[in-house]
Structure 1
Amino acid sequence: MLKMFTSPRPELGQAKKNTVLVSHGRPPWYGEDGHRISDSYVIGIAGGSGSGKTHVARQIVKALGSIPSVVILSQDSFYKKHTPEQLVLAHASAFDFDHPDSIDMPLFAECLSQLKSCQQANIPVYSFKTHQREDEGRYLYGATIIITEGIMALQDPGLRELYDLKLFVQCDSDLMLARRLKRDVAERGRTVNGILEQYLRYVKPAYDNFVLPSQRHADIIVPGSNNAVAIDIISTHIRRQLQERSNSFRPKMAMPHLFPSISGKTVQDLNLTVLPQTPQLQGIFTILRSRTTSRQDFIFFVDRLSTVVMEHALRYLPFAPYTVTTPLELPFTGKVMDAKYVCGVSILRSGGALERGFRRVLHDVPMGSLLVQSNDHDGEPLLLHVMLPVCLRDRRTSGDAYVFLLDAQIGTGAAAFMAVRILLDHGVKPEHIIFVTFLVAKGGGISVLRRAFPQIKIVTAGVDDIMEEGWLDGLEEGEGRQVWAMMPGFGQMGDRYYL
């Protein structure tokens, strides 16, 4: 199982509940028109301190089993940044962390709204040892299910509007106090006297005045212990909700002529740039298509082709006039790249075959990667891994970035479609996306891809006319897993290049 997110750094002294759980990949959250058709499913869990909110969240994830990616988001990450005077009180256990005013509710709602609408968010990181919010946040993206938990999770109206399911964990007061004592001594370095003083002065009044009254907003009341039946009911409801939001996507990409709403365009109509078919290019294709080509020759000519196609793709970057002085002390006015940020993103693993050519042409720009693989059951694309350059992880810079998206082939186009959608979710402008590939299938998903995203540029070295349907690990139609192959194609580019 591959991780899409990273856990907080241990040196920050955060509670263990501020971790991120992931599962088995994220299925398409968009339709063939490129628009989002479903938001992430959001669950809000409230309850007193020590009631078992984090445990309930983890039990829900465990009960769901093989599910898409999940993130558990703690309210504790959103404590406000403290002044020097407040820090003195905090270290003396004299600061009220249990009042709603101690939490940055607008920022909490903003980050949750971004994640719910399938965008990236930068979550603040709070240290319980220093009692301060860190300057560096934590990047999150790609969760199908978001579980938020905190004592005030149901107290704020703005947060409640974002939840699809609201839970309240009810627990005996003595048990909550015992759990809090054990946790704060072990994880936060507090003394027993300090914990008890804080509990009586702040925690108990806050529970009576703010937390317990929010129980009326809950859809389900969950016991803080012995709650297996409640967890089973909740997980069954969530699975049903996810099933209703599912979308059969790959067949519409692979065979667009079967779906009238997305057919009717040819490659010539789609503003697709195909490299001039020179004798040199035809010779390279002949070598790459041959099953008898040695691995050494295959790698050499793949790198050569990637350099050629990347040089052709550079025309879509902006350039501005620039004057230099030659060694003969004479001025010369030429061109210089006029893009604030440029980066590459490789769709693993066949996209890695273009990286060497990319580096030869643009040697000093950051490189990211995406891993999109087919579900074994239905062939639908699943997002398993996201590692984007820093300039794409922040919306303050992503809108100015030009992105070269690299993949060896566009057949059904399902992985390409998902990759483009990910970049758009991060705020990259569609006209700044340059998709570089060796080969596209005229009868495949290229028409759907370009109809949904008419402003992106696709640069390819060649076009194959045929997409053929088949069944992997099966002898007849309907047996095994459904696949589509480009004809005559290159075969499995990633396997031939790396193995």
Structure 2
Amino acid sequence: MVGQKADSTMTVSPDQHEATPLQTKKNTVLVSHGRPPWYSHDGERIRDAYVVGIAGGSASGKTHVARQIIRHLGNIPSVTILSQDSFYKPHTEEELALAHASLFDFDHPDAIDMPMFSACLADLKACKQSNIPIYSFAEHQRLDETQYIYGPSVILTEGILALSDPNLRDLYDLKIFVQCDSDLMLARRIKRDVAERGRSVEGILDQYLRYVKPSYDNFVRPTATHADVIVPGSNNAVAVDLICTHVRRQLDERSNAFRKTMAIPKSGLSVEDLDDSRMIVLQQTPQLQGIFTILRSTTASKQDFVFFVDRLATLLMENAVNCLPHIAKSVVTPTGSTSTGKAVDAPFVCGVSILRSGGALERGFRRVMHNVPVGSLLVQTDGKTSEPLLLQVMLPQCVRERHKAERSWVFLLDGQIGTGASAFMAIRVLLDHGVKQEHIVFVTMLVAAGQGIQVLRRAFPLVTFLCGAVDENLEEHTIDGRIVWITSPGMGMIGDRYYL
């Protein structure tokens, strides 16, 4: 999942309570240097996440192998360890009584919700979001809350039965089986279950002999025949290094870059060429021209700049709300008369700002759209490749749940569209979540009338773009050895001028 910066230790879901051992401790979300483009210039996804399936006996070292792989991979975009333990089926009262008495077989394939497991993994592999169930080992039950995951470039799926289901095996790019001595697995299991799951040694041994060992012999060990690589459960540094070399090579082959082609100017464009039903440019009134005169000036004070940015953002949003569906609505006025007006006819409405210049539009957005959730996307430029990198995703709840996302209208906020690379990535994120193109309204102050906006409109013809003005030039410069493209005459670094 793309999220807060983290090292090679696990980050725990904020839903996790310290007093209750949850499987979120196994669903590890790790982030290094951001997620590069996973799509082509026509907006279509051209690469899936790389999925590694890791199976083996209980306490054989599957999770340890997965974390060792992550540590050795180094500067990879984003990684998730997805645990099979998340997908235990909900239990009835009778099953719960057996589980608390250590008389329920958790190692049998029937204990796992395999269809849900494969469906969630398929979504993540296809670069879509997924809401993973959370299972409490203390309560022996699936909890009501879920863990939201989106954006991994590499998914390590681990579990004793990770290679048993053919639908799961079809999703793996690499299949690993961790082979370990039975005595060592038992010793590890006792140590883990006593410390992490509050079990007694007697109960652990009884469950091991009754269920764990027979299931390993009957269901787990036979899946080793499906593995591409057999890894020892200890002293496996050489095997892990070979696996990491293979994964790095696969990721390098999937790299994609096209920002420079988006920045190539397309001559002969004007405001009239861009202005249509899906590309709305505000009427260039004397008031609007006066606002831009102040915003473009290097002599404008910080106070003036913030004031007029907020004023422009309010004007933009007042026009943008016209893009929402409306229905007729009758009300009774204070004089007792009936008046017919309009009401927004959208189940869910939210805003998403592209940080950080998009944040400058949030105050104007909130002035016009009362009590509407606002999320954010952090997109920055890779200093080496000049490609955009997705570093953080903080989306409103209505977008994170797909059945709501399909009915949501989203206002994307950004200070300006130059090459269009950040805008392209932000739109692709929303589409991955199930938001419809025609439900996205991109609101920005400035648009450079070059190749970038044209690429965006060809890739996403149903997205509506609304801007305050169109600048003619997009100029290439080199700053600190890095190629950048600057809108001219432009407004400079909007985020810096607004916040600093």
TM-score tier (shorter)? over 0.9
Aligned length: 487
Secondary structure of the 1:293 match is: coil
The alpha-carbon deviation at position 481 of structure 1 amounts to 1.3
Contact 2:278 2:462 in 1 (8 A): no
Letter of the 2:484 partner, please give it.
V
User: Which sections of structure 2, spanning at least 5 residues, go unmatched?
Assistant: none
Aligned to 1:485: 486
Contact 2:131 2:147 in 1 (8 A): yes
The alpha-carbon deviation at position 45 of structure 1 amounts to 0.1
Deviations 1:194-241 (A, max 9, x none): 000100111001111111100000000111111111111111111110
Contact 1:42 1:116 in 2 (8 A): yes
CA distance in 2, matches of 1:322, 1:149: 54
Deviations 1:158-203 (A, max 9, x none): 1000000000001111111111111000000000000001001110
Secondary structure of the 1:115 match is: helix
Deviations 1:24-43 (A, max 9, x none): 21111100000000001000
Contact 2:22 2:135 in 1 (8 A): yes
Aligned to 1:233: 242
The alpha-carbon deviation at position 2 of structure 1 amounts to 2.9
CA distance in 1, matches of 2:477, 2:181: 59
CA distance in 1, matches of 2:145, 2:26: 19
Contact 2:439 2:463 in 1 (8 A): yes
Aligned to 1:184: 193
Quick one: structure 1 residues 270 and 230, their matched pair in 2 at CA, closer, same or farther if it must change by over 3 Å? farther
Aligned to 2:453: 446
The alpha-carbon deviation at position 485 of structure 1 amounts to 0.5
Aligned to 1:413: 420
Secondary structure of the 1:406 match is: strand
Aligned to 2:170: 161
Aligned to 2:99: 90
The reply on whether 1:365 has 2:372 as its aligned counterpart is: yes
The reply on whether 1:392 has 2:399 as its aligned counterpart is: yes
The reply on whether 1:13 has 2:14 as its aligned counterpart is: no
The alpha-carbon deviation at position 482 of structure 1 amounts to 1.2
Quick one: structure 1 residues 256 and 230, their matched pair in 2 at CA, closer, same or farther if it must change by over 3 Å? farther
The alpha-carbon deviation at position 270 of structure 1 amounts to 8.4
Identity %: 67
CA distance in 2, matches of 1:378, 1:371: 18
Aligned to 1:2: 4
Deviates more, 1:19-28 or 1:390-399: 19-28
CA distance in 1, matches of 2:70, 2:277: 43
The reply on whether 1:381 has 2:383 as its aligned counterpart is: no
Q: TM-score under structure 2 normalisation?
A: 0.95
Alignment of 1:180-219 (within 5 A): 180-219=189-228
Q: TM-score under structure 1 normalisation?
A: 0.95
The reply on whether 1:458 has 2:465 as its aligned counterpart is: yes
Aligned to 1:267: 274
Deviations 1:378-411 (A, max 9, x none): 1111111111111111111111111000000000
Report the RMSD for the aligned CA atoms in angstroms: 1.5
Contact 1:256 1:448 in 2 (8 A): no
CA distance in 2, matches of 1:133, 1:307: 45
The reply on whether 1:301 has 2:308 as its aligned counterpart is: yes
Contact 1:49 1:180 in 2 (8 A): yes
The reply on whether 1:25 has 2:27 as its aligned counterpart is: no
User: Which sections of structure 1, spanning at least 5 residues, go unmatched?
Assistant: 259-264, 474-479
Alignment of 1:242-257 (within 5 A): 242-255=251-264, 257=266
Contact 1:414 1:445 in 2 (8 A): yes
The alpha-carbon deviation at position 249 of structure 1 amounts to 2.2
CA distance in 1, matches of 2:84, 2:452: 42
The alpha-carbon deviation at position 268 of structure 1 amounts to 4.8
Aligned to 1:338: 345
